[in-house]
Structure 1
Amino acid sequence: MKYAIIGFGKIGQALAKAFVRNGIEVSVATTRDPGSFASDAAAIGREVVPVTLTKAVEADVVFLAVRFEAHPDVARALPTWRGKVIVDVTNAYGVPPEEMGGQPSSRTVARAFAGGRLVKGFNHLGAGVLGQDPATTGGRRVVFLAGDDEDAAAQIGELAEALGFAPIKLGGLSEGGLLVQARGNSWGRLIFQDLVKFEA
């Protein structure tokens, strides 16, 4: 299984740290030449491999860690996303709901990535918290996941476990997705909720 993170700002780097902590290789890309952020990648760990956007989209699982407004540019990198899982880490804060037809922001993203299986997740925590070791205070930091494709959501749940997080599935995009999205000038009810799951 090949993983890629598209977007290498604070959130993208926080995600990369999770992969490095667990010795899992991950490609990272932006719209820029990979040499321009190679030193930042190397500072996180040797498992982080800077590549071109064209190379990154060859991965089986792609984390979309760009500004919401930039997601159509990434989607155009492939004519079809069939067979790939896209993890939507974007937040559409400041984007008027009417621009999305009143739908959850993740549905807008899903339409752009034609053929792909989209899971909303890893977006409810700020970069400073997401980048920390999720093993904390005797438990594991929670990440929320929502998606209409149960197999894809289960796959990302397994990956979240492998990265040390405690995944909690919220259901489909129209229900659970609303809890972990931003749009207009409002945040979903679970955004910024830093929760820890303790084992029984």
Structure 2
Amino acid sequence: MNYSIIGFGAVGQALARAFARKNIDVTVASRRPPETLMQQARAIGPTVVPGTLQDAIASDTIFLAVPFWEHREVAKQITTWQGKTIIDTTNAFGVPVEDLEGQPPAAVVAKAFAGARFVKGFNHLPAAALAADPSVNGGSRVVFLSSDDENAVAPVA
């Protein structure tokens, strides 16, 4: 299993920190060239490797950490997402409800990634909380996951 994060802003970097804490390799990509991500990636840890969007798309499991409407550009990169798991961390905050055509935001994003196993999650916590160690005062942080595909949630959890 290989992992990538598309989007390397606050949420993408927070997710990368979680991978680094567990010493798990993850490719990170954004609309910027990989070399421009190198300094931030190195500061997070050696398992965080900048790549191109095409490198990230080649992964089995992809965290989508881009602004809401940018999911469309990512989805256009290949014709079918069959065999991939997409974890949607986006938020539609500020998106007019009429732009969603009566659909929940997750359904709008899922529709764009034809064939993918789709899980919604990680979008209910601020980036700073996601970046911090999840073990807090003897407890653990909770991340809510949701999917229409009951077999997709367990591996993400």
TM-score, normalised by the number of residues in structure 1: 0.77
Matches within 5 A, 1:1-200: 1-157=1-157
2-structure distance, mates of 1:109, 1:55:
21
In the TM superposition, what whole-angstrom CA distance separates every residue of 1:49-72 from its partner, at most 9, and x where no partner exists?
000001110101000000001110
Q: Which amino acid in structure 2 is aligned with residue 16 of structure 1?
A: A
| SS of residue matched to 2:15 | helix
Higher helix share: 2
Aligned counterpart, 1:179: none
Higher strand share: 1
In the TM superposition, what whole-angstrom CA distance separates every residue of 1:81-111 from its partner, at most 9, and x where no partner exists?
0010000000011111111122110000001
2-structure distance, mates of 1:43, 1:78:
31
Give the superposition deviation at 1:7. 0.1
2-structure distance, mates of 1:30, 1:78:
16
In the TM superposition, what whole-angstrom CA distance separates every residue of 1:15-67 from its partner, at most 9, and x where no partner exists?
00000001101000012210111111011000000000011101010000000
Instruction: Answer with 97-106 or 129-138: which moved more.
Output: 97-106
2-structure distance, mates of 1:21, 1:153:
21
| SS of residue matched to 1:46 | coil
2-structure distance, mates of 1:71, 1:90:
9
2-structure distance, mates of 1:148, 1:37:
34
RMSD: 0.7
